[in-house]
Amino acid sequence: MNMFDPHVHMTSRTTDDYHAMNAAGVTVVVEPAFWMGQPRTHVGTFEDYFLSLLGWERFRASQFGIRHYCTLGLNPKETNNPDVADGVIALLDHYLEKDGVVAVGEIGFDDETEAEEKYFLLQLELAVKHQLPVLVHTPHRDKKAGTLRSLAIIRESGIRDELVLIDHNTEETLPLVLDTGCWAGHSIYPETKMDEARMVALVKQYGPERIIINSAADWGVSDPLKVPKTAQAMRDAGIAEAAIRAIVWDNPLAFFAQSGRLDEQEAGVDVLIDQRQAFEGNSVLRGQTPVVHG
């Protein structure tokens, strides 16, 4: 079964991670723009970051048989930085037109400040303007209140519910999201957020409709194999293969295909691996024999 990890920060991962993910069945990923662990101080660093998601990282993924797409946005943490916020919004109006960008995101709340709400709304407006879906980050603290506030802002913006993926859900927030027409994402983590057993219980209770899972793997303690591991946990718990396929393949494909930049049929075709290739003169290899197949 091909699998799709619709929220994984591969810039922070290694080539070994790409190889392991592909071996486990992950063939498509979406990498949302996010903060880098420390504040960025210049708008130009965002532009270089966006270019890397559209260029080098997409190439690097292809060298291990994985199709790479991205979402671009000003993340909630950095909306609170007045030195960069308006400049990044101006950049986004240009970069959201690029091939490979399948949504605006991650946007939403971190500390639920006035600045976060302002730029949340501005980026929802950009999504409507560019006819793109949106990926919404829900806060780690006071998640229920943050989710309710996010849903209210989404209604205020006028964007259609089916174009919105609310991420990082828990048992407390999932029913709130499913009561709308939005999609519900779940980040499966080694220690925090959601784990495999809890996700299995949610699928048994609510079924697979509009349910999506991801690893949200980044530079911290995380696991880029959580999508295949959760698929196996669902299988072991007796969940039907059709439901598993919907959650790890059909649903994320259907959501991001709304961008018009992800072809659902093409996504199921194996990527040609040719490690003889280079990007801007750079290869993923360091003296190894190139792999060529597909």
pLDDT of residue 192: 78
List, for the chain, all residue ranges whose pLDDT scores fall below the cut of 70.
294
User: What DSSP string runs through 81-150?
Assistant: -TTTHHHHHHHHHHHTTSTTEEEEEEEE-SS--HHHHHHHHHHHHHHHHHT--EEEEPPSSSHHHHHHHH
Torsion of CA 121, 123, 125, 131, to 10 degrees: -140
Instruction: Phi first, then psi: give them for residue 59, nearest 5 degrees.
Output: -65, -45
**273-274 and 292-293 as β-strands: parallel, antiparallel, unpaired?**
antiparallel
Which token pair is 126?
């950009």
Beta strands in the chain (DSSP E): 3-5, 26-32, 67-72, 101-108, 134-137, 164-166, 183-187, 211-214, 273-274, 292-293
User: What number of other Cβ atoms are within 10 A of residue 167's Cβ?
Assistant: 24
- Number of structural domains the chain divides into: 1
Could you read off the pLDDT of 194-222 as tens digits, one per residue? Answer: 999 999 999 999 999 999 999 999 999 99
Given this model, what pLDDT does residue 294 score?
64
pLDDT of residue 36: 86
247: containing domain: 3-293
| CATH code where residue 95 lies | 3.20.20.140
Q: Tens digits of per-residue pLDDT, 27-74? A: 999 999 999 888 899 999 999 999 999 999 999 999 999 999 999 999
pLDDT at 193: 75
